[in-house]
A and B are shown apart, each in its own frame.
Chain A
Amino acid sequence: MQSTPSITVSSHPSVQYLLRIGDTCLILAQRLGEWCGHAPIVEEDIALTNMALDLIGQARAVLTRAGALEAALGGEAHDEDQLAFLREEREFRNCTIVELPRGDFAVTVLRNLAMAIFLRLLWQRLERSSDGELAAIAGKAVKEARYHREHAAGWVVRLGDGTAESSARTKAALALLWPYIAELFADDAVDDAADADGLGPRWSDLRDDWHAEFGAVLAAAGLEVPAERAFRSAGKAGRHSEHLGYVLAEMQYLQRAYPGGVW
């Protein structure tokens, strides 16, 4: 069988900035989609997959924009499908936290909370992006992230302030996920460039607001903010955990095995 050649993407900082957003939405959507048919109650099964759908829609729009920008910069144009299905692990720019296994329900809702707070703050800033298309995408996505945030916050409080079992599981989830939070706010040259040309904020600009909101939910849930750790993940730079490869193997299988296959 002939396999589909992988693609590489422009290293231009604006393209990289968009890939970080699009890939973060895409991989989180994949993880949420895994709950389809497996959530503890049918309402939550529907909620998690609905959120996955919103995130896939956001990812499609942002990846489409990234591909168009590549072409505008004189490179090869890539469409959303090529970007999602034909890049290898090291070419993905999502934050590491979203590729971690879905874990139990506590891990899932706590990660959803962390990401919904983060993405809402980011989309809010991107509504003023110098890139009109990105600003338009953000105008829609910010409303969706707001709804996801309330859903996740409600669950974190119920579980954290719930039974001994649910509280212990939520504490364990927090301990597991916390070391990956710092990466969200670790700036590099991509952030500097986005800030300089008005494409979007430095992600470190969102740190204080994120901590205020996340901390308020933890307090209501009876959970303590964990201590800062030295560990730093670097998915945004393409250095991923051992988990992303498995996500991609499943997500990309069809396009790799049947190049150009459509429904």
Chain B
Amino acid sequence: MSETSVVSRDAAATSAAESRRARAWAVLDGVLDPEVPVVSVVDLGIVRDVVVEDGGDLVVVVTPTYSGCPATEVIEESIVAALDDAGLGPTRIRMQRAPAWTSDWISAQGRARLRDYGIAPPAPVDPAQGVALRFVPRAVAKLACPRCESTNTERLAAFGATACKALWRCRACGEPFEHFKPI
């Protein structure tokens, strides 16, 4: 066989892999978080990469939001099922812990979707966060109510219904709301 044909065959294989990757990203954008079913796993920034391995497996690299997030397994199963249904399999998940997930990786679209769903999105992570121990009720940055946009709000509890959220209340409209914690 000529050298030229090997090159063109490799090029065709690369382009097929690229197209499979692109289609996989599009499918992943439709895989929703089971606990906040308006944001996708891509919006949340937990899909770090999609690669086609030499053996032909499509590998989705994911990172956990919290060490003990109980949704992790469900998310992995949903990803594999969605990609298999789209005919992009065989698919595997590779868990990657480092660098650790941060709420700064939530996309602009993801933040808008959270707000529309009634969850106040996280502010950028403060680089000074956690450096000094603050043990008196601290002045938290003004958080806007996702319903009426008033910043006359207060934190009711540091933890919420899922590991990633805290519970707040709006003093203006009286409604409680959830806040996606910045970490």
Q: Are the CB atoms of A58 and B136 closer together than 8 Å?
A: no
User: Nearest B residue to A62 by beta-carbon distance?
Assistant: B67
Bound complex: CA A248 to CA B99 (Å): 34
Partner of A150, one of B70, B100, B158, B160: B158
Cβ 8 A contact of B100, one of A50, A54, A60, A136: A136
Q: Does A90 contact B (CB under 8 A)?
A: no
Quick check: B68 and A53 within 8 Å, CB to CB?
Answer: yes
List the interface of chain A (C-beta within 8 A of B).
43-44, 46-47, 50-58, 60-61, 117, 120, 132-133, 135-137, 139-141, 143-144, 146-147, 149-151, 153-154, 156-157, 213, 216-217, 220
Contacts A47-B158, A57-B66, A146-B130; is A154 near B100 (CB within 8 Å)?
Answer: no
The chain B residues found within 8 Å of chain A, CB to CB, are: 64, 66-70, 96-101, 129-130, 133-137, 156-161, 163, 167, 181, 183
Partner of B136, one of A47, A52, A220: A220
Residue ID in chain B nearest A25 by CB atoms: B67
A52-B158 Cα distance, complex, nearest whole Å: 14
Given known contacts A146-B129, A217-B135, A50 and B97 CB-to-CB distance under 8 angstroms:
no
* B159–A153 CB distance below 8 A: no
Give the 7 A-B residue pairs with the shortest CB-CB distance, closest first.
A57-B68, A57-B67, A153-B135, A43-B157, A136-B97, A136-B98, A53-B68
Name 25 A/B residue pairs within 8 A (Cβ), A-sorted: A43-B156, A46-B161, A47-B159, A50-B159, A50-B160, A53-B163, A57-B68, A58-B68, A60-B67, A60-B68, A61-B97, A132-B98, A133-B97, A140-B97, A140-B100, A140-B101, A141-B67, A144-B66, A146-B129, A151-B159, A153-B135, A154-B137, A156-B135, A157-B136, A217-B135
